[in-house]
Amino acid sequence: MAKNRNRLIRAAGGVVWRDESKQEIAVIYRDRYDPQECCLPKGKLDAGESWEQAAVREVFEETGCRASISKFVDAVDYLVGDRPKVVIFFEMLAVREEEFVASGEVCAMGWLNPETAVAKLSHDVERDVVRTCLRRL
């Protein structure tokens, strides 16, 4: 059992721009862990899935947006309990917005200007990911 607790959690997600103007990014809201936790869309890789495939899938599942990857942004790591987690973030562009459907993981999603997103995101590592994108503009 100790072996499973220390197994690396691999996840991927995105800083998803609504359009080419890069004025709004997608954020999601979760109430599973902390009321109104605001974060970037991300999730665990499925078996046999690449980081890029997982990012595109997770963005769609959590926002309802079909998105394409523009470039790598950053890799962040932290502990979830006693398990290490690595999340690879990509800069992405929404190519088609479909209807958002709330799930057991995500209660809402929205589009925020990047500065507001930085202020509202619940986790420092995700604020830093958005700041990295802003420095590249």
Say whether pLDDT at 9 is over 70: yes
Say whether pLDDT at 8 is over 70: yes
Q: Per the structure, how many domains does the chain have?
A: 1
pLDDT tens sequence across 102-117? 998 999 999 999 999 9
What value does the mean pLDDT take over residues 14-25?
97
Domain of 125 in residue numbering reads as 2-136
Residue 128 confidence class, pLDDT cut points 50, 70, 90: very high
CA atoms within 13 A of residue 49's CA, in its CB half-sphere:
16
Task: Report the amino acid identity of residue 118.
Answer: V
**Domain with 53 in it: what CATH number?**
3.90.79.10
Amino acid 32: pLDDT: 75
Share of the chain above pLDDT 90, in %: 88
Say whether pLDDT at 17 is over 60: yes
Which range among 4-13, 40-49, 66-75, 118-127 shows the weakest confidence by mean pLDDT? 4-13
SS3 string of 12-51? EEEEEECCCCCCCEEEEEECCCCCCEEECCEEECCCCCCH
Amino acid 34: pLDDT: 65
- Beta-carbon contacts of 28 under 8 Å, excluding residues fewer than 6 positions away, are 38, 39, 40, 41, 62, 63, 106, 108, 109
